[in-house]
Amino acid sequence: MQHAILSFSKAVIKQGENTVLKNIDLVVHPGDFVFLIGKTGSGKSSLIKTLYGDLNLESGQGQIVGYNLNKLKEKQIPHLRRKLGVVFQDFKLLSDRNIYDNLSFVLKATGWKKKEAIQTRIREVLSLVGVEASLTKYPFELSGGEQQRVAIARALLNEPELIIADEPTGNLDPDTSKEIMKLFKKLHKQGMTLLMATHDYNMIVKFPGRIFRCEERKLFEVVQK
């Protein structure tokens, strides 16, 4: 029996006093490509924040990449995040550092010490995401699509068990969005497991995967005909 990378059973997520999602049942297996859809405010981002330890699981059961979300301790969160690759809508690149330093910062923070190993890994991930730009360029010198590719490269640095993408094409034009989605599909074909929140229904039609909808404080799988 294959172990689930992520599972929720009867889980409840709250923001303050407000119940955002309840009775969540969700299982993600290695190699899945899962879309999380729903209107703004339906709970997608709260669910994603729970996955990387930014929000506590209120009740029910939850586990992700071997960590129990019910008993997650503050000191475990950095270790959990090393096993996840998170990609955000607004890239979250450090504006005062060039591409190389953005990526080496993450590797050094997660225990990489050897300069040659750091250089090799940075070249590997940038090649994987198709970034041709000079490593000495700063984020503001890159297009939106290039910045998102660098952000995806950053998410891949520590070979995560699960890539979580929160509206990764939200700030991009339609053509660039399509290119970024093709990149995610390529990564999926190479065996990576992805969970992506999006409100772009065109993407879901063009790039099929499992679909879960957040609606009226519930999460349910959309069965495709």
Q: In what order do the strands lie in the sheet with 67-68?
A: 18-28, 6-15, 57-64, 67-68
Q: What is the pLDDT of residues 204-214, one digit of tens each?
A: 888 878 999 99
Residues of the chain with pLDDT > 70: what percent? 99
Neighbours of 92 (CB within 10 A): 13
Label residue 41 by pLDDT band (50, 70, 90): confident
Q: What is the pLDDT of residues 126-182, one digit of tens each?
A: 999 999 889 999 999 999 999 999 999 999 999 999 999 999 998 899 999 999 999
Q: Which domains does the chain have, with CATH numbers?
A: 1-79+199-225 (3.40.50.300)
* pLDDT of residue 224 exceeding 80: no
Q: What is the pLDDT of residues 4-22, one digit of tens each?
A: 999 999 999 999 889 999 9
Please give the C-alpha separations between residue 127 and each of 45, 152, 165, 191, 192, in angstroms, as whole numbers: 30, 11, 20, 17, 16
* pLDDT of residue 2 exceeding 70: no
Helices 115-129 and 99-109 pack at an angle, to 10 degrees, of 120
CA 58 vs. chain centroid, Å, equals: 22
Q: What is the pLDDT of residues 81-123, one digit of tens each?
A: 999 999 999 999 999 999 999 999 999 988 899 999 999 999 9
Question: Distance between CA 187 and CA 182 in Å, rounded?
Answer: 9
Question: Distance between CA 91 and CA 73 in Å, rounded?
Answer: 27
